[in-house]
Amino acid sequence: MIKHRAFVLCLALAAHGVALVPAAQAQGLRVSPQLGGSRPAARANDNTPRSADYIVAVVNSEPITNNEVRSRMVRFEQQLTQQGTPMPPRPELALQVLERLISEKAQLQLARETGVKVDEVTLDQAEQNVARQNQIDVAELRRRIVADGVSPAQFREDLRNQLLLTRLRDRELEARVRVSDLEIDQYIRELQGSSDASAVELNLAQILIAVPEGATVPQVGALQERAQRVLDRARAGEDFAKLAREFSEAPGAAASGGIVGLRSADRYPPLFVEATQSLREGGLSNLVRSGAGFHVLKVVEKRQGGVPGANVVQSNARHILLRPGPELTEAAARERLSAFKKRIEAGQADFALLARENSQDASSRNGGDLGWTNPGVFLPEFEDTMNALSPGQVSEPVVSRFGVHLIQLLERREAALSQREQRDLARGAMREKKLDEAYASWAQDVRGRAYVEYREPPL
């Protein structure tokens, strides 16, 4: 599997809306009747032959096919396997995936009706970002996508749809969310006195030695010994990411070095949380046995309530921002910034001077310098691109809701957070939480306004 937060969960690029619910929730599936149609009932004694593909539901006038459900289920199952989470019954998983596709289809229809668009150049940029985050080129990305059973055309269509959803959600939700100082004070007090697993965030890396279904006792013993040898090598100081690429059978391990990603503890399997509960950052667990096999776990990062501890990695970057309008299209802004990039890299122009003369924001007076910033300050599309740069490197043009950016990373450092900076991070965490709540309500409203007709149950 390709490692990308958006692709792993069915390419959900939205910062506060994923195309599938977190894996930990998949086992607690509850699907209530919805407006606009009746729920399909599974028929145990129905032996009627069916074609290879068929319509399972219609959202307004657009169909959802059984193959769409099955394709999305495959990706979700890969995510569950990677996390070591037990697989829910397939009928439950199929109904959950269908509900998500219905909600997504209704939102995409709203995006088109209200004029939200994603052009080919933006799509190219998104594809390049996925490749860059996986430290490969676009050609290799497409090769791996095909190996994962997804055509490049389908991958780009998924990217386009998720970019449409991201732009729609940003437009609909950003203005609705405000966080007051009183809310931040209460949030911090709750975090300090909370023992809830959701108040802790973990970033774990894992090496999975898979145990096939029906393996004999000798086979299980041999695989356990293999996992123990890997653990011993990790404890002896060998690079964990290298070991994961060499030995892990979890989807995406070759690209990610085994890193699962930062998320609240309640979104990890309880086995993982229990095994790493007493470990500090950098610590290694004992072997963990799940239904998927044997796991070697490493704590990459541990946070309380989404607010890091005393130190974080800060970035110092600068940018040139062009705002598209009646006299400057988005494509023209991109073209102009691409020309700037070529001149800078050829030594024919100075980034700071170009920023002073051209950037359309307050940073222009400082040569585009944005100062030292903590993680989470910038929009995801900006920060993802910046994080993929090496010091001194200049990005390709990046589109955000503010315009088109050309970014240069100047330097990175590890720094202690002041009390004010910790409050800023708490504000950001609180805002993300409120965005999640606003999105859930908004998505339910969009779904409720759609006419949904259920046909045959997915298989």
Task: Dig out the tokens for 91 from the structure.
Answer: 């009928």
Residue 59 · residue 65 · CB < 8 Å: no
Mean pLDDT of the chain: 80
Q: pLDDT tens across 422-436, in order? A: 787 778 778 888 888
Sheet holding 398-400, edge to edge: 369-373, 311-322, 403-416, 398-400
Beta-strand pair 200-210/259-264: antiparallel
Q: What is the share, in percent, of the chain residues with pLDDT greater than 90?
A: 33
Task: Dig out the tokens for 100 from the structure.
Answer: 């998500």
Give the domains, in start order, of the chain with CATH numbers. Answer: 5-42+52-175+448-454 (1.10.4030.10), 195-304 (3.10.50.40), 311-416 (3.10.50.40)
Residues 6+ apart with CB under 8 A from 394: 341, 344, 345, 351, 406, 407, 408
Q: In which element (H, E) is residue 301 found?
A: strand 293-304
Residue 90 · residue 430 · CB < 8 Å: no
Residue 103 · residue 358 · CB < 8 Å: no
Candidate from 57-61, 141-145, 444-448 with smallest mean pLDDT? 141-145
**pLDDT at residue number 36:** 35
**pLDDT at residue number 185:** 82
Tell me the chain's radius of gyration from C-alpha atoms. Answer: 23
Averaged pLDDT for residues 370-377: 86
User: Where is pLDDT greater, at 228 or 252?
Assistant: 228
Place of tokens 């070591």: 84
